[in-house]
Chains A and B, each alone.
Chain A
């Protein structure tokens, strides 16, 4: 099972601020993902990466950006936060492994509130 860490767990910030949500995993997984989820609602994939220097936009359009300079680190940045960005952000990672044992493991999430 993967160890995935997200910081901060909770963030309340004013409109217009630049924020970075951190996500790190210690399992050496190639693949990492960011999901956005409103409370109790469905998950929306907003970014993913299949390796260093590889990033793609997900199924839901997002104003955030991501980078993947190191295998273990996949931060998400909002240049200018707005109230519409208020949500929970979940990071995940996966590795194909042997016998196609592909599984995504999730971090604890960051609950972002933009005032």
Chain B
């Protein structure tokens, strides 16, 4: 199986700190897709970003930024100036090949303390 590894099970920071969530993936596909989802305590899974394997350009959206590096098979997610509302479980996922299924990492629980 082509795994997605989120080595950080839990991270705790104080508000306004920057925090980076790590994601390392395995793939045998030439074309693949990487995702980040946020799951707040209410339980729904909120789509944050999708990145194609052929587009290594990093992206910034407000306080969120993503660093995609094919050379290290990593797709890390940074929150700048964290806020209490950022507290959630964050999942990294990978899709690709001839099927349309996603492989999820086990998630990282981020707690932002006031």
Contact = CB atoms under 8 A, between A and B. Distances in A.
Interface of A: 1, 31, 33, 40-43, 45, 48, 50, 58, 88, 90, 92, 94, 96, 100-109, 111
Secondary structure of the B side of the interface? strand
Given A106-B47, A108-B43, A31 B109 contact: no
Contact of A100 (B31, B102, B107): B31
Given A42-B107, A43-B91, A109-B44, A103 B101 contact: no
Contact of B43 (A48, A50, A88, A104): A88
Given A42-B106, A43-B91, A100-B52, A105 B47 contact: yes
Contacts of A40: 89, 107, 109
Q: Return the 7 tightest CB-CB contacts between A and B, nearest first.
A: A106-B45, A42-B106, A108-B44, A109-B43, A43-B104, A103-B50, A31-B100
A94 B44 contact: no
Contacts of B109: 40
Contacts of A90: 44-45
A50 B29 CA distance: 21
A16 B13 CA distance: 45
B105 to A, nearest CB: 8
Contacts of B104: 42-43
Interface in B32-83: 33, 35, 37, 42-47, 50, 52
A106 B46 CA distance: 7
